[in-house]
Amino acid sequence: MTILVTGATGRVGRHVVDQLLQRGAKVRVLTRDPAKADFPAGVEVAQGDLLDIDALRSAFKGVRTLFLLNAVTGDEFTQAIITLNIAREAGVERVVYQSVFDADGAVNVPHFAVKSGAERMLQQMGFSATILRPSYFIDNELMIKDAILGHGVYPMPIGSKGVAMVDARDIAEVAAIELIRRDQAPGKLPIETINLVGPDTLTGPDVAKIWSELLGRPVVYGGDDPSGFEQNMASFMPKWTAYEMRLMAERYVSHGMLPEAGDVERLTGILGRPLHSYRDFAAEIVRAA
């Protein structure tokens, strides 16, 4: 049967598609503009989005398993609700959902609260689901690399509690493994939640030190005050999004994103290899600079 991948053109979704193909899965993607979607041969492309009811119904034909990834948008929750309802209508009950770390804790951060609501839908509507809860994405650093490389400042206010940053490639590979496992299961599997974290829990000063060592010159941590971060984000994204990013940063400072006991070991067991580290990712950026 076919696995439907939403969010397939994004930084996680593209890797999910590749990982599924490597495992011999039949993959269909839903995208607004197929002409701009450069997917490998063998991928079925369905045109539409998560608020296009007719397109969703068509995309779900012949599908047994869904990878649901919503972008952080103003209507993210509506997209999730509609998609899960159409999935159930189509008889699709096997789902891997990309949520966020501590979704039910950071209730004041809009996209955390949204994902907590979607998790509750999956549970109460009887889906057979794996809920993936990734921590801060390591490749978020691509947005701020100019500040690091050009100005010697690490501007992301992640605080001193610690954040176990995760690589998008690790997220995607775990997602693909879970999609295959659920798709091939002879019957309905129970809901499981997996925290997706990196191998190291780092503070703001820790990250600045890594960059200093890799660059051979000082990089300083910009501090915990998120107001400047919000202002910078608002220069290239909608103000409501920048404010949401500020609320998320405040959560990093107040609570961190700390792995639970056994999270790293569980992930390395699933993947059969070590997790990608922050230092290695940063080194790739430095080599490419």
Neighbours of 131 (CB within 10 A): 22
Predicted structure pTM score: 0.96
Is 247 part of any domain?
Answer: no
Three-state secondary structure call for residue 99:
coil
> What DSSP element (H or E) covers 77?
helix 76-89
Is 27 part of any domain?
Answer: yes
Residue 276 pLDDT level (bands cut at 50, 70, 90): very high
pLDDT score of 178 = 98
Is 215 part of any domain?
Answer: no
Q: Which two tokens stand for residue 196?
A: 């997706």
Is 147 part of any domain?
Answer: no
pLDDT score of 38 = 85
Q: How far is Cα 117 from Cα 126, in angstroms, rounded to an integer?
A: 14
Q: Which two tokens stand for residue 108?
A: 């004041």
Dump pLDDT digits (tens) for 98-152: 999 999 999 899 999 999 999 999 999 999 999 999 999 999 999 899 999 999 9
User: Is a pLDDT exceeding 90 seen at residue 97?
Assistant: yes
Residue 273 pLDDT level (bands cut at 50, 70, 90): very high
Q: Which of 33-37, 142-146, 193-197 has the lowest mean pLDDT?
A: 33-37
pLDDT score of 72 = 87
Is 123 part of any domain?
Answer: yes
pLDDT score of 50 = 95
User: Is a pLDDT exceeding 90 seen at residue 233?
Assistant: no
pLDDT score of 45 = 95
Dump pLDDT digits (tens) for 53-78: 999 999 999 999 999 999 888 899 99
Which carries the bigger pLDDT value, residue 42 or residue 19? 19
Q: How far is Cα 214 from Cα 121, in angstroms, rounded to an integer?
A: 45
Residue 116 sits in a domain whose CATH number is 3.40.50.720
pLDDT score of 133 = 98
Q: How far is Cα 119 from Cα 129, in angstroms, rounded to an integer?
A: 9
Is 185 part of any domain?
Answer: yes
**Mean residue pLDDT across the chain:** 95
User: Is a pLDDT exceeding 80 seen at residue 36?
Assistant: no
pLDDT score of 74 = 87
Is 69 part of any domain?
Answer: yes
- Give backbone dihedrals phi and psi of 2, rounded to 5 degrees, phi first: -90, 145
pLDDT score of 229 = 85
Q: C-alpha angle with apex 146: 143 to 152, nearest 5 degrees? A: 125
Number of structural domains in the chain:
1
Dump pLDDT digits (tens) for 213-232: 999 999 999 999 998 889 88
Q: How far is Cα 125 from Cα 32, in angstroms, rounded to an integer?
A: 28
pLDDT score of 289 = 85
Q: Which two tokens stand for residue 67?
A: 């990878």
User: Is a pLDDT exceeding 90 seen at residue 37?
Assistant: no
Is 155 part of any domain?
Answer: no
| Range(s) of the domain holding residue 12 | 2-135+166-196
